[in-house]
Chains A and B, each alone.
Chain A
């Protein structure tokens, strides 16, 4: 009887085909799950199309419009470049401060959120839940709140990025910490070192390269993302993008996007170089 309990519901409803081999043995061939999955997918597609008002005809009839806009974006207005620089610096500054603050806060919290260091199950779950909650709100929503509390400008943006970074880096880090080699840690404990001492000398050196790797990854993400935070008034390039799109000056938008592209590429290259030094 124990075996039937373990068979998935699907196989109990649609009985597997039993094939008798030439030597008398029988093998079971479970029915394919593909039709069921396809049917569910189809139902989901129908519901989703209804609720979003999916209209392919509209897309085709107005597709030319996209060509016009993209044409202008890929023909950037070079004279606009000087106006891009100050908000660009704002965006980069915001990202640097936010990333550093978020990463520094994430390091101690992630230690308490990893199951191999913190053996206290309730506190572990509470800390993980807090990290999940922080992570699940988008940066732009934080930015909106902080703009209202601290006023317009880059400070609200930095704070929003710090929250966002904290959520991501803490999650990645506690997953990393759980895969480290605990041997040195136990050895330190057997010498009579305290939890903190043994963590500091045995675990930290194993975590730090991954920690910096995560921070760099997050910095890259933040530069890309923070370019839109200005949309709610948190400083940086977003304000400019919003204004230029509103005025339908797509050539200027093209210039802004080109600048972001070059900056992100540069940061990507520098990060790769730093990574090669760390690892």
Chain B
């Protein structure tokens, strides 16, 4: 009995003592936060700010229900449809455009220098934020939902191709060798050896990106690229909080529902067809 407790105590005392290290890390983070706060302009909440906050909360809890059943292009159903359409087309085109990029950056398919070139291109695409892409494309297509579609098609390539690359580099080449041994030609090898291995993860990635694009599509309207973003910011700027409330509630519900559906589909894809 005594022996056991001695063992435990011995084990405990042999554990590394990290106290100083932890204090140091804590101080480092604390000093970073203090430095980060130096430029901050917080000088108490003003009377006016308080009133605005109250108005916002009141508006969100008392949404304008009329907008929900307004079937013109200014009503919420049409705006939501437009937002979903932007995300859907953007994701579809983006995930198709990403396929050649991914194959040309996979190290098990092309030489190293080719993959390096295409990886840097996708990296550059990823660095430019979606909103900035929209500002650039607006000069090409003019304002409107079409600009949103083009923006998302390009902005999706970065992340989607990165995830495709992982799937391609994990390809099981044993299958291809087996097909070779059966005497299959290249086309047949792609049809039964490559596509079944990649399709599930490619589709899963595209659905995941659709989730993200839907969230992005709601803000693209701020710069005039269509969707619900423009009426939302317009309502905020004009302090029509009941309208803002209706937009925000519908937006939140839409995002939550789509996320729930996409998680379900992706879980099913990961398990394989049941």
Contacts and interface: CB of A to CB of B under 8 A. Distances in A.
Interface of A: 44-45, 47-49, 51-55, 58-59, 62-63, 65-66, 69-70, 73, 89-90, 92-94, 96-97, 100, 132-133, 136-138, 140-141, 144-145, 148-155, 158, 224-225, 227-228, 231-232, 235, 241-242, 245, 253, 257, 260-261, 264
A136 B252 contact: yes
A225 B92 CA distance: 23
A73 B215 CA distance: 27
A153 B49 CA distance: 14
6 contacts: A93-B36, A97-B40, A144-B236, A150-B45, A158-B36, A241-B132
Given A45-B92, A48-B85, A100-B29, A93 B251 contact: no
Contacts of A94: 36
B145 interface: yes
Contacts of A62: 140-141
B32 interface: yes
B136 A69 contact: yes
B178 interface: no
Nearest to B32: A96
Interface in B6-52: 29, 32-33, 35-42, 45-46, 49-50, 52
A48 B140 CA distance: 21
Given A65-B140, A145-B236, A154 B89 contact: no
A153 B40 CA distance: 7
A96 B255 CA distance: 27
Interface in B48-83: 49-50, 52-53, 56, 78, 81-82
Contacts of B146: 52-55, 58
B219 A141 contact: yes
Given A93-B40, A154-B40, A242-B135, 17 more contacts: A49-B89, A52-B148, A69-B136, A73-B136, A93-B36, A100-B33, A133-B252, A136-B215, A137-B251, A141-B232, A144-B236, A148-B52, A149-B52, A149-B56, A231-B131, A257-B128, A261-B124
A152 B36 CA distance: 17
B98 interface: no
A90 B39 contact: yes
Given A45-B92, A52-B82, A137-B252, A228 B150 contact: no
A66 B40 contact: no
Contacts of A49: 85, 89
Interface string B134-153: 01110111101110111000
Interface string B214-234: 011011001100100000110
B202 interface: no
Contact of B149 (A52, A73, A137, A241): A52
Interface in B127-186: 127-129, 131-132, 135-137, 139-142, 144-146, 148-150
A264 B222 contact: no
A235 B131 CA distance: 16
A96 B141 contact: no
A261 B41 contact: no
Interface of B: 29, 32-33, 35-42, 45-46, 49-50, 52-53, 56, 78, 81-82, 84-86, 88-89, 92, 124, 127-129, 131-132, 135-137, 139-142, 144-146, 148-150, 215-216, 218-219, 222-223, 226, 232-233, 236, 248, 251-252, 255-256, 259
B40 A155 contact: yes
B52 A138 contact: no
Nearest to A74: B124
A92 B39 CA distance: 11
Top 10 nearest A-B pairs (CB, nearest first) are: A48-B85, A153-B41, A136-B255, A52-B145, A93-B36, A96-B36, A97-B36, A155-B42, A51-B85, A261-B127
Contacts of A63: 140
Contacts of B40: 93, 97, 153-155, 158
Given A59-B150, A97-B40, A144-B236, A257 B52 contact: no
Nearest to B81: A51
A45 B89 contact: yes
Contacts of B39: 89-90, 93, 154, 235
Given A138-B219, A260-B127, A58 B141 contact: yes
Contacts of B252: 133, 136-137
